[in-house]
Structure 1
């Protein structure tokens, strides 16, 4: 079966910045030590808050640069 993983970064050099953003957002929503945490122990809602807020911040940054 073909691997359909589309999570590859278009710009691999952005990985560090995305990880920093993820930690910042996790702290903002009240999840400390997110980088060392087993994400499988978090609820879908908690992980969704982190991912959703990351997207929100990225869209806001893009809109500011328009």
Structure 2
């Protein structure tokens, strides 16, 4: 499986919405084209998404 393939294709819309929400909260201007963003900006969004997903999973384990 290529790394760009989604494990759950049905989750694409939810992940896009989540990414936009996190980007908005961090003040990163995500649009359909993000080629003008720095690696730091994109990384901050991705890192925050992972942080929140891990926290959600940990809360479910309690």
TM-score band, normalised by the shorter chain? 0.7 to 0.9
Q: CA offset at residue 5 of structure 1?
A: 3.3
Q: 2:4 — aligned with what?
A: 7
TM-score (norm 2): 0.86
Superposed CA offset, 1:2-54 (max 9, x none): xx73121111111111011100100111024x133x21100000000011111
Gapped runs of 5+ residues in structure 1?
none
Task: Find runs of 4+ consecutive structure 1 residues off by over 2 angstroms.
Answer: none
2:43 to 5, 23, 48: 48
Q: TM-score, normalised by structure 1?
A: 0.81
